């Protein structure tokens, strides 16, 4: 299993246990997601849309508000991050 696949699984597991995560863990996962998405976008050549609200902005805001997010909000942000990373992984795997 690749590191990316393991990270996607970690995000999904964390989303399923959102009510048990500390704000520090949430912030760490979201920041890792942001870095991973940026790196993968650079590898694929895909950039965020200027016209549409970029998901990275949402994740950055969520990371900065980790102490005040509800478990449902945490779950939604972690699943969004996992989904984006999954799609980028599919694109990268297709380039090989």
Place of tokens 């972690």: 78
Q: Would you call 88 helix, strand, or coil by DSSP?
A: helix
Q: State the pTM of this model.
A: 0.89
Residue 73 has pLDDT above 80, yes or no: yes
Measured in degrees and rounded to the nearest 5, phi and psi for residue 59 equal -65, -35
pLDDT at residue 51, rounded to an integer: 42
pLDDT at residue 52, rounded to an integer: 44
Domain ranges of the chain: 3-95
Could you report the per-residue pLDDT of 6-59, keeping only the tens digit for each?
A: 999 999 999 999 999 999 999 999 999 999 999 998 898 877 655 445 888 999
């Amino acid at each position: 299993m690749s590191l990316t696949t393991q990270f996607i699984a970690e995000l999904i597991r964390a989303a399923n246990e959102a009510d048990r995560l500390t704000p520090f863990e949430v912030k760490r996962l979201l920041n890792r997601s942001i870095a991973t998405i940026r790196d993968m976008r650079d590898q694929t050549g895909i950039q965020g849309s200027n016209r549409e609200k970029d998901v990275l902005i949402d994740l950055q805001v969520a990371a900065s508000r980790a102490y005040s997010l509800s478990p449902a909000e945490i779950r939604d942000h972690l699943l969004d991050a996992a989904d984006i990373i999954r799609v980028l992984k599919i694109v990268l795997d297709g380039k090989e």
